[in-house]
Structure 1
Amino acid sequence: MSQYNPDPATNAVDVKKLWSGGLATAVVAALAAVVGLLVIRELLDVPVITPEILFGRSQAANLAVFAAIAALVATGLLHLLILSTPRATSFFSWICTLATVAVALWPFMFDATLASKVCSAVLYLVVGTAIVSLLSGVARSAAISRPIGR
């Protein structure tokens, strides 16, 4: 049985697996944001609180781009943590979960109906949860522990 060195300096990552998983996560996050927006706005007839439109001319495109960017930033954070931190996925989960909660609380800063605030918060929680859960799984397949002495 091999012994593994817990020293973070010896951690390695399969970059191809990590970033391909990160790109796939970005697609899922973007689609989750668009589907959630459509369900809330069109089926429930509740306005969604979103950042100012910067990408394209639609609320859906804006949310999709922001969700994809969030997933890619989270992938970069995960990459850094795997290379430098013991128990990287634990720290990653905590950091991203707290960031998700902060984003989910953001709609409550606006003067809007309670339904709009709650639905917007739920949408952001779903997107953040998708990012955290998918990238945590990607981390398990992309992290490479080197045996002691190599």
Structure 2
Amino acid sequence: MSDYYGNQPQDVRPGIDARRLWAGGVATAVVAALLAVVGLLIARGIFEVEVLAPKGEGVWGNASTTTYALVAAAVALLATGLMHLLSVATPAPSQFFGWIMVLVTLIAVVLPLTLTVTPSAKIATAVINLVIGLVIAAVVNSMAASARTLHRRRSQQSATPPTPPPTRQQWTQQDPPTRYYDR
């Protein structure tokens, strides 16, 4: 069955514009890194909480602001890669991505709470990780939605080329328009 223009039905498959997705992923990595720096500056500078600077050798060691920002950027790039993989391999990429990011963010929130540091440092680190995780998940998910495309494949039912719509000259020869003043 063809439409008015003679086009055959098409097989439509969802796809993703990889360039747009990864450009957005790099931008998300910059946002995540800056968010980590802002979170540490607020915790250390305003609230005077020694975030990621435990007295002993804990899980985090003596991580610096730069390292924390780079890890946040790397997580954003990993999230972009995960979204790309899910977009080409699963039927509902946003749902799977959402669940995975919620669980990864939950791990990032709970992990600092297990450290042997002051409670204020535990809570501040957990809050910073929560904000970074939620921002990465929301931004990657929304930019992946804008990078989605539809790939069309023509059906092989008919080998005849589609017929173009009639030109204005053909239309006027076949069915001249009726004018109100010709009545």
Q: TM-score range by the shorter chain?
A: 0.7 to 0.9
Relative contact order, CA 8 A, sep 6+: which one is greater?
Answer: 1
Q: What is the SS of the residue equivalent to 2:149? A: strand
Once residues 4 and 136 of structure 1 are traced to their aligned partners in structure 2, the CA distance between those partners, rounded to angstroms, is: 26
> What residue number does 1:37 align with?
40
Deviations, residues 49-81 of structure 1 (Å, cap 9, x unaligned): 37345xxxx711011100000000010000000
State, as a whole percentage, how many aligned pairs show the same letter.
Answer: 39
- Structure 1 stretches lacking a partner, 5+ long: none
> What residue number does 1:94 align with?
99
Q: 1:112 to 1:92 in 2, by over 3 A?
A: same
> What residue number does 1:141 align with?
146
Query: Which structure has the highest helix share of the two?
Result: 1
Q: Is the 8 A contact 1:25 1:71 kept in 2?
A: yes
Deviations, residues 21-58 of structure 1 (Å, cap 9, x unaligned): 000000000000000000001110011137345xxxx7
Q: Is the 8 A contact 1:17 1:142 kept in 2?
A: yes
TM-score (norm: length of structure 2)? 0.71
Q: Which runs of 4+ in 1 moved over 4 A?
A: 2-5, 147-150
Alignment pair present for 1:24 and 2:39: no
> What residue number does 2:18 align with?
15
Q: What is the SS of the residue equivalent to 1:146? A: strand
- Match for 1:37: what amino acid? L
Q: What is the SS of the residue equivalent to 2:15? A: strand
Pair member with larger Rg: 2
Q: Is the 8 A contact 1:29 1:130 kept in 2?
A: yes
Please list, as runs of the form range in 1=range in 2, the aligned pairs for 1:124-135 lying within 5 A after superposition. Answer: 124-135=129-140
Once residues 111 and 16 of structure 2 are traced to their aligned partners in structure 1, the CA distance between those partners, rounded to angstroms, is: 34
Once residues 37 and 21 of structure 2 are traced to their aligned partners in structure 1, the CA distance between those partners, rounded to angstroms, is: 24
The aligned length equals 141
> What residue number does 1:66 align with?
71
TM-score (norm: length of structure 1)? 0.86
> What residue number does 2:52 align with?
49
What is the RMSD of the two structures over their aligned residues, measured on CA atoms?
2.0
- Structure 2 stretches lacking a partner, 5+ long: 1-8, 54-59, 156-183
Q: Is the 8 A contact 1:36 1:123 kept in 2?
A: yes
